[in-house]
């Protein structure tokens, strides 16, 4: 299995621009999670989906952030407009059939907003 796939691996953009991060979960996994990792705040859960439906988005920092999962094999996290404080590594993870099962993380997207 290819594992969780994320793209791009690195993104550099200017403040005010729209940024779209992409994730392909492991095939057959029902849960998909978006995390953000920074030195200051560590690894934080932003939102998670079950069977393509957003269940809990309480970790999304503000309205500039949105996430979608149009089908079982694809999800996006969008930031519009981006700000320098959004600079972080964004991880996507998936798990098989429950919140309690092992989460498998992708390699992350390193975002730098200038």
Partner 1 sequence: TQLLEQSPQFLSIQEGENLTVYCNSSSVFSSLQWYRQEPGEGPVLLVTVVTGGEVKKLKRLTFQFGDARKDSSLHITAAQPGDTGLYLCAGRPNDYKLSFGAGTTVTVRA
> Would you call the peptide bond into 9 cis, given omega within 30 degrees of 0 as the criterion?
no
Closer to partner 1 at the Cβ: 71 or 102? 102
- Helix (H/G/I), strand (E/B), else coil: 86: helix
Q: How far is the CB of 68 from partner 1 (least distance, A)?
A: 20
Cβ proximity to partner 1, 6 vs 82, nearer residue: 6
Q: Which residues bind partner 1 (CB under 8 A)?
A: 4, 42-45, 48, 56, 91, 93, 99-100, 102-103, 105-108
86 vs 106 by CB, closer to partner 1: 106
* Smallest gap from residue 56 Cβ to partner 1 (A): 7
Q: How many CB atoms lie within 10 A of CB 95?
A: 20
- Cα→Cα distances 104→31, 34, 40, 101, Å: 10, 11, 23, 10
- What is the residue whose two structure tokens read 């149009």? 70
Nearer to partner 1, 15 or 99 (CB): 99
- Minimum distance between the CB of residue 87 and partner 1, rounded to whole angstroms? 16
């Amino acid at each position: 299995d290819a594992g969780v796939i994320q793209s791009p691996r690195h993104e550099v953009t200017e403040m005010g621009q729209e940024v779209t991060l992409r994730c392909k979960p492991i095939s057959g996994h029902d849960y998909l999670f978006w995390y953000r990792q920074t030195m200051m705040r560590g690894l934080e859960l932003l939102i998670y989906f079950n069977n393509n439906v957003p269940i809990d988005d309480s970790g999304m920092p503000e309205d500039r952030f949105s996430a979608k999962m149009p089908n079982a094999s694809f999800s996006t996290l969008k930031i519009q407009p981006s700000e320098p404080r959004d600079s972080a590594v964004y991880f996507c993870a998936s798990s098989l059939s429950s919140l309690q099962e092992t989460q498998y993380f992708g390699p992350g997207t390193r975002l730098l907003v200038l």
